[in-house]
Every structure is written in structure tokens, then in C-alpha cells.
Structure 1
Amino acid sequence: MSTAVLVIDVQQGLCEGEGAAHGVPQLIDHLNTVTARARAAGVPVLFIQHESGPGYLAHGTPAWQLAEGLHHTPGDLRVRKTTPDSFLRTDLGKRLQALGVRDLVICGMHSEFCVDTTTRRALALGYPVRLVADAHSSAGNAALSPAQVIAHHNATLSNISSFGPRVTLVNTAELQFG
């Protein structure tokens, strides 16, 4: 297998409340389309879940669980992480290596934190990345709206060339496997 899909931090606690990511219902629809296509093509799907200490996103809490409405199957893999980098202090690299993965499809939350950091780390490790341009989101911040954060990261990540491997933007409707 040469491709894997990483669905980053689409967890209930990031989909509700004051800090909820923008456009969650549409995002989950897009993610379900991406992962269904991947499974149909025999492409592994890895759900990455961020966790913190006691309190917000603590392992096993309702906020830590995958988001309501996000489809997952027993054959999907799970990776627990504690930093914005899905590779740092996790077994993600070993899992991808064992699966023979050579390139990644990345989507999820939050564009400016875990999606950005994981994408850059993947490039540094030699993985070309297809970033699903309409399947990552942000809550925004004091300087930028969520839509601006998403657009900024689509533009920025797809223009990085110094790692060698590149980020290619693809919309959900255009994403193909195989």
C-alpha cells in the first residue's frame, strides 16, 4: 500500500462549544466521503486523537472521543498524540512504514496547529502530501477568521518546496485513490 489517510483531531471537544471549529457539519461530511473512498480502495485510514492531561481532551473523556457523525470502522487505525506533531512521541511513523506507505492524504483539525505541524513533519520525513483543501478547519483567532486561516494554510503549505516532497491541494470531490 502506498497511500494512507490521516484524519487529525476530529474530536467531539473540538466540534462544540466556544472554541468549535468552523463548519463542522460540512467538514464531517467531507471527511466521511474521503474515508469511505479510501476504504473502498483499500487505503488505510488513521484517526489521530489529541489528548491532554486531566481536563480538556483527557484520554477517554467525551471531549476526547471522535466527533459525533464521523464514520469509523474497526479496521481503521487510531493514534494517540500529545503535541501538534502527529509523529512526535507516537508510533505513527512505524505504522506507516509497516504498511508500506509512501504518500499521505491529510485532513482534520485545526488547520494552523496540528494539520500544519503534521503536514510539515510529513514533508520533512519524505512523504508527499495531498492536503484536502475543503476538509480541514479552524476556529480562527483574534487576527483571522476561520475561512482566512484555512485559505492561508492552503496557500502556504502548497507553496513549500524546500523539503523536496510537496503538498498538493485537492478538494473532496476531486480526490481519487488508486
Structure 2
Amino acid sequence: MVVDMQQGVFATPRLQREACVARINQLTRAADRVIFIQHIEEGGLEEGSDGFALLPDLYQPEGAIYSSKTACDAFYKTGLEQLLDEHGIREFVICGCATDYCVDTTLKNAASKGYAITVAEDAHTTADRPAAQAATLIAHYNEVWRTLTVPGNPVRVKPTETILQAWQAN
């Protein structure tokens, strides 16, 4: 699941954009199924606008699934849960933007719903915020997710390379 890697989102500079996109592309090239989540919002992220479009250097495999949202949580008032059920998806890797908003909110809700979540710890990004720099936020959220209490369903936080190696072994 690739969250909010859209042109309008990246109008605000994000930490290590190119490296993040490169790792996401590694994941999307190797994944059995890819779901792109796109945010809709007035002010540059209107559906069908240039800002709504995914980044041009993001690999979009044939057969990718697209879902849109209007809140930080990709499950809030969307058909995402039904879409996952239709495709028999109960576990997924999550990556994208923004670490401290949409990635965080979506993965916490997904874990609470019983989905087995793996975070690609080096394939999500965010912007500098008034209270903390992007690098600090990314490290902080990786640690939060690593220690998140969801009895019977721990969130796994792994480097992209480890995820890819596990996929190749299966």
C-alpha cells in the first residue's frame, strides 16, 4: 500500500524524496499486488488535477489498484476495507507520505482492524514540521510503530531490503 505519493503533496519539500521513491519502486516492482492511496482535498489535490496525480517517477504496475480518501485515515468513509476483502488481502506492507499523518493514521487503524502490517521503515517520508525535523519524525514513528501495543497483531517495521529478501524467499 503506497500512501499519498502525489504531485500536490510533494509541492511541500519532503525528506529524501528520490531515495524514498526509489525504495517504493523496488517494492512495487516486487509486490504481488499494489494499492495506491490518493488524497483528495481542495487547494491542489482535487481529483483529476495535476496535484492529485501520482509522482511521475513512481512505478505503477499493470493491475495496480487505486483508492482515494479525504481524511488522513485511508479507511475513513472509503471503500478500502471492502476492496481489501474483495482481493483477499489481510496483510500488507505500507509506505509513502506523510509519515506523521496519513501513513501513521492508516496503519494504526489497519492494525486495529486486524490487518497484519509491515512498515517499510526507509520508504516513507514527511516534511519538516514546526516542532520537529522530518528525519526526527521518521525515526520517532518507526520506533512508535515498532513498540505499538496491538495484542496478537504486532506491527512489523523493517528495511525495504529485508522485505524484498523475504518476498524472494517465498
Q: Show structure 2 runs of 5+ residues with no match.
A: none
Residue 34 of structure 1 corresponds to 27
Residue 64 of structure 1 corresponds to 52
Give the length in aligned residue pairs. Answer: 166
2:22, 2:46 → 1: CA distance?
26
Runs (4+) of structure 1 moved beyond 4 Å?
Answer: none
What is the aligned counterpart of 1:110 among 98, 118, 124?
98
Normalising by structure 2, what TM-score?
Answer: 0.93
In the alignment, structure 1 residue 152 sits paired with structure 2 residue 140:
yes
What is the aligned counterpart of 1:21 among 14, 18, 28?
14
What amino acid sits opposite 2:39 in the alignment? H
**SS in structure 2 of the partner of residue 97 of structure 1:** helix
2:54, 2:112 → 1: CA distance?
28
1:142, 1:63 → 2: CA distance?
24
What amino acid sits opposite 1:29 in the alignment? A
Q: Which moved more, 1:96-105 or 1:75-84?
A: 96-105
Percent sequence identity is: 32
Residue 36 of structure 2 corresponds to 47
What amino acid sits opposite 2:8 in the alignment? G
Q: Show structure 1 runs of 5+ residues with no match.
A: 1-5
What amino acid sits opposite 1:27 in the alignment? C
**SS in structure 2 of the partner of residue 12 of structure 1:** coil
1:163/1:60 Cα in 2 relative to 1: closer, same or farther (>3 Å)?
farther
* Contact residue 34 and residue 65 of structure 2 kept, 8 A: yes
1:160, 1:60 → 2: CA distance?
36
C-alpha displacement of 1:166: 1.3
Residue 3 of structure 1 corresponds to none
**Aligned-pair Cα RMSD in Å:** 1.1
* Contact residue 29 and residue 61 of structure 2 kept, 8 A: no
**SS in structure 2 of the partner of residue 148 of structure 1:** helix
Normalising by structure 1, what TM-score?
Answer: 0.89
